[in-house]
Structure 1
């Protein structure tokens, strides 16, 4: 019986293989990126005319309610070839509701009077850095900055009266959204100690000197504060310090700690709704700050250094001096506000792609006539490659290291976005690619995309939906995390920009090209 089963199984395999071969001769479909070339098939390639147009943006979603962004931009980027960008940060503050300015044991002691004095208070913004080991010496360079770091931009800090609700006020069953063009309500005057603080990155800003003083104004002690890189204790993190008005901060925060305003995080959010770090100007640099650092020392925050002077109630003579510290991380709901300079680009056979709320491009691979024509051909798509060339005469100082493509249904009022198939079906082979390619001289030359599975499905599939492709500056949140992650959410804190040639024949050999390689039966 056992021998008979084995023989029958062998016969079945032979029969199945025979029908499989016949089936492959009668009909074939896409084999991914594999090229079919043998005595039954011949390979060829065709250049397909496409249309690529500018697609300016007015805004993007810039909050962390749906997805934690981590990176937030602050500063100015101004290039004559692109829209000027003024990037500001708006954030709630996190509080320690158990903190006591004066311990209960001292506060309730009738023999002691406590006078609290702020020594210094500032916003701490640690830079992202690159650490290099040069012959045993650890060198630190600032990272994630574009623009002119030799010129400052103007920064002012405000309290906002805008309430940050995680739920949509019009429909509480949905999460709220804040977009990059949202206007936040300011309350009062600037919180920074010096109006129009001149912000200029400096990698040597690694220490803060805090002079501790008693309530009488006498110098008690001097502290040197620095922030070390996590895991590299010998290296100090360059950090921008924005001094705040000590009297305003004492009234807003220290005097309220222990009262109802600090009884819970929700109570505090209702009392103090957030701060605005507003950048303005026509020159300077644009900095990306990491708000997701696991090291407390490297998290953006408001840091308050203060001193409690204990006096004897009987004669007000000094009894003791205690130095204290309180920190309020910029946490909770955070957003970026982008002020983009309105700019109309001339119709000169160029495409502008600029991150944040700048500009994307709209690409039409096939019109319906061309698609119907391709569907009438018996093609096995082996490869589909889109190449976009950089105009090297434009500003290429801060071009993106990668561009990205996604699908749009074209709805102008409520568009739906999705991932291109290759981004997840070919993820282990680089997805749709789109990385910057340099020429043999090191010049920034082009971007190349692979769209094989998408084009094959479009030609051989049953759907008549021919999506518009959108081209954008790549953001780390763009790529799908799995094959089921097919919805595309358009976030962008990558401010880089590039000028590309479009499809016009006027661009000669550097016009945008779309090449389909295919196989057909002989």
Structure 2
């Protein structure tokens, strides 16, 4: 009984202490809310400024992936994407035997895909990052533009090539394409092909979905096999100077605006041009004296996405206009009233959560618009992600769509059917208020992979009068590979749709 009495007294003490602690906090603020299992007050009167920034050009030779085709957008118009790439030798000074004969030449590039099930035909796949299902043509040109690794005009820093250099690059193409693919359209079906094994025999390979295009044998016979022992194949540098680049250009034969855009994994080890050939050491060999071999041309270190935005328009207005590709982004300035920030810093608040909630402008974006699932926000001044990004425990390297959902919430819908994105900036805002961290500009854009930052150089409109230390100089590279777009309400929108910085806090007496 004594033990039971002591236990009861202990529990009463805990209750009294908890009640005393709760009484130490005063109710100050606009509203009392319950969020994330804590009672907190809401402050949402902070001044915010947002500006839409159209992109003039974007560095496009350091990407993880590359797009090809057309994208038509009901709000922003349409654009096209071409690819310029170097080729490199599988190995320098190749030997093809005394009497080589080219059998076939195959361009093989994997799509981004994932298995979704299995039936009597085996594993079934779904293609990712494929937009539209309309057929287009692809033209293949030899380029005579030399892609440098270093820039002699910039103290030999790594050379940057940009998305808006179509006119320059196409001025160096051969007059006619050496090959044209008609009615190109990605397929989700797995592929079967032959591959030479270590014994010189062909094995049948089953692989994930990819484009496999048969290129003209005569062209590559003269380009590669007939040049065995020549200076052009002596080294990669010699070959890059001899064959300076391959340019792949989409062609829309329909005459009407179309969507047919594919994201290609050109950085994959499986992306290459494969030359299948027979060879022997005698002029008139028997079947036993013929060897089956293959030799590959790989995609070089310099690959450039070239974007044509002649038919694209970035709207103007009070909204936030976000367009992927060489499109537009938003720049956000928080706490634009210095006296307000000083008052907040004197408040000694405990910041429980801070977020920006962006509502979709349903008047400009229809329900069937290809709305991006994710937005990305970053520190413009320091060209880096926010602490909230770094410490997000929901990071998922294997599934970008479901990664970092705490910091970068996916497209969602409220009880009234209004779509929105909620981006949590708790650490960032807390450091500004409680640690006197520098308040900086924030960049906002669409993204197809929030796991990748990979900043690349950019030039945007309207940065001429911005302080040099705060100018927008880089953006995350996935923006260029995301054709989707949206229109969001800004801080001047009517109540209920207005962009606000919501700060949930508790305040001690």
Scaled by the length of structure 1, the TM-score of the pair is 0.72
Q: Is 1:417 matched up with 2:383? A: yes
Question: Where in structure 2 are there 5+ consecutive unaligned residues?
Answer: 1-19, 27-39, 196-200, 396-403, 456-472
Q: Is 1:91 matched up with 2:116? A: no
1:407 aligned to which of 360, 372, 379: 379
For residue 328 of structure 1, report the CA deviation from its aligned partner.
1.0
1:422 partner SS: helix
Q: Is the CA contact 1:399–1:496 (under 8 Å) kept in the aligned structure 2?
A: no
- Number of residue pairs aligned between Structure 1 and Structure 2: 432
For residue 157 of structure 1, report the CA deviation from its aligned partner.
1.2
Match of residue 101 from structure 1: 96
Match of residue 150 from structure 2: 167
Q: Is the CA contact 1:207–1:225 (under 8 Å) kept in the aligned structure 2?
A: no
2:345 aligned to which of 351, 366, 375: 375
Q: Is 1:147 matched up with 2:131? A: yes
The 1:263/1:431 distance shift into structure 2, 3 A limit, reads same
CA distance in 2, matches of 1:434, 1:457: 19
Q: Is the CA contact 2:379–2:442 (under 8 Å) kept in the aligned structure 1?
A: yes
Match of residue 476 from structure 2: 490
For residue 303 of structure 1, report the CA deviation from its aligned partner.
1.9
Q: Is the CA contact 1:125–1:239 (under 8 Å) kept in the aligned structure 2?
A: yes
For residue 246 of structure 1, report the CA deviation from its aligned partner.
2.8
For residue 386 of structure 1, report the CA deviation from its aligned partner.
0.7
C-alpha RMSD of the superposition: 3.5
Question: Where in structure 1 are there 5+ consecutive unaligned residues?
Answer: 1-35, 108-113, 211-222, 230-236, 410-415, 482-486
CA distance in 2, matches of 1:244, 1:137: 29
Match of residue 302 from structure 2: 333
Match of residue 12 from structure 1: none
Q: Is the CA contact 1:192–1:243 (under 8 Å) kept in the aligned structure 2?
A: no
The 1:44/1:208 distance shift into structure 2, 3 A limit, reads closer
Q: Is the CA contact 1:419–1:488 (under 8 Å) kept in the aligned structure 2?
A: no
Q: Is the CA contact 2:117–2:124 (under 8 Å) kept in the aligned structure 1?
A: no
CA distance in 2, matches of 1:134, 1:496: 31
Scaled by the length of structure 2, the TM-score of the pair is 0.74
Q: Is the CA contact 1:478–1:488 (under 8 Å) kept in the aligned structure 2?
A: no
Deviations 1:276-308 (A, max 9, x none): 112243424211122343xx5xx2211223344
Match of residue 446 from structure 2: 473
Q: Is 1:119 matched up with 2:89? A: no
1:203 partner SS: coil
The 1:342/1:50 distance shift into structure 2, 3 A limit, reads farther
Return the index of the structure with the highest Cα Rg.
1
The 1:376/1:440 distance shift into structure 2, 3 A limit, reads closer
Q: Aligned runs of 1:45-444 on 2, under 5 Å?
A: 45-48=42-45, 49-64=47-62, 69-95=63-89, 96-102=91-97, 107=98, 114=99, 116-134=100-118, 138-149=122-133, 151-182=134-165, 183-184=168-169, 185-194=171-180, 197-204=182-189, 206-207=191-192, 227-229=205-207, 237-281=208-252, 282-293=257-268, 296=269, 299-308=270-279, 321-341=290-310, 343-369=312-338, 370-392=340-362, 394-395=365-366, 397-409=369-381, 417-426=383-392, 430=404, 433-439=407-413
